[in-house]
Amino acid sequence: MSHGWMPSSPCGPECLSGDEDTVGGLRAASRLVHAIGVLLAALAVSPVMPVAGRRGRARLVRWFFRSVLRAFAVRLVVYGAGRLEPVPGRGALVVNNHISWLDIVAVNAVQPMRAQAKSELRGWPVIGWLATVSGTVYIDR
């Protein structure tokens, strides 16, 4: 399927030489254990979310998403970061046609926000619970 607005890249499989760096089994296992630990910690902290207040929730959400990035050794660089705390009386709409789960994690690591997601996500183990606790708005598609 191809459309004029679909993203494309001039680089395909032929751009890979075959000698790219890979992650060893021990490092991959360590990252997975770290990520599972972050998820378990988030589950343990999630009952506090409703009573943590706006700033407390924002701090917890930022901690969670930054921890997920650290678990998978993803470095986040933010350009043009001005004031990241919400301005009283003002809102913002962030539209993100994301192409990866990392997009959601990166945006929330900088500025926590309520997300919109497909209703099926609500039933996913662990992730569905955390998304619901964080205030995700579910849409039937």
- The span from the CA of 116 to the CA of 71, in Å, is 25
pLDDT of residue 68: 92
pLDDT score recorded for residue 86: 55
Q: Burial code of 114-139, b = ≥16 C-beta within 10 A, e = fewer?
A: ebebeeeeeeeeeebebbebbebebe
Please give the pLDDT value at position 123: 93
In the chain, what are the domain boundaries?
Answer: 26-76+97-139
CA atoms of 139 and 137, how far apart (whole Å): 7
> What is the pLDDT, as a whole number, of residue 37?
94
pLDDT along the chain (141 residues), means of 10: 66 71 87 93 86 85 91 86 59 74 86 85 87 85 82
